[in-house]
């Protein structure tokens, strides 16, 4: 995730939007768009106010293959004891995680009941 939503550039604006990712700022995926033809202005700059911006959907079907890519920021997998690491891939689906949402704001969700119910904020686990 890298906490990306609808960044204007490839770099994430808020590395703490959903969780403390400490990831490389250029890693991760953006939320999907459904603009026709694109979500860019006349200068080619991403415009999150375009009709369809942030409204794209990803669909996966049984038997389909999902490619996952990432970059490791500080080295990994070397025989050097100082750069050993473990990659953890986590995922969840709406049917098993009610309330899961991307949100529309790149601000961090407030740690309050009001924040937990405000759909502008992304949320991947309940407030407890």
Residue with the larger pLDDT of the pair 28 and 100: 100
DSSP bridge partners of 123 = 101
Token pair of 2 as six digits? 């890298």
pTM of the model: 0.62
Show the beta-strand stretches assigned E in 34-100. Answer: none
Mean pLDDT of all residues in the chain? 79
DSSP bridge partners of 101 = 123
DSSP letter, residue 3? T
CB contact at 8 A, 123 and 109: yes
How many other C-beta atoms lie within 10 A of the C-beta of residue 6? 19
Token pair of 3 as six digits? 């906490």
- The string of pLDDT tens digits covering residues 59-80 is 778 898 888 777 666 677 667 7
Contacting residues for 127 by C-beta, under 8 A, at least 6 apart:
111, 112, 113, 115, 116
pLDDT the model gives residue 17 = 81
* 40 three-class SS: strand
Q: Where are the alpha helices (DSSP H) in 14-120?
A: 113-117
99: left (phi over 0), alpha (psi -120 to 50) or beta: left
């Amino acid at each position: 995730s890298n906490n990306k939503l609808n960044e204007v550039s490839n770099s994430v604006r808020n590395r703490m939007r959903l969780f403390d990712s400490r990831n490389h700022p250029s890693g991760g995926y953006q939320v999907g768009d459904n603009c026709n033809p694109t979500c860019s202005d006349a200068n080619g700059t991403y415009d999150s106010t375009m009709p369809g911006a942030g409204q794209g959907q990803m669909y996966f079907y049984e038997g389909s293959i999902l490619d996952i890519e990432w970059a490791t920021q500080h080295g990994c997998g070397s025989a050097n004891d100082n750069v050993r690491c473990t990659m953890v891939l986590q995922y969840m689906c709406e049917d098993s995680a009610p309330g899961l949402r991307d949100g529309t704001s790149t601000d961090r969700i407030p740690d309050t009941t009001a924040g937990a119910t405000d759909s502008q904020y992304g949320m991947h686990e309940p407030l407890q």
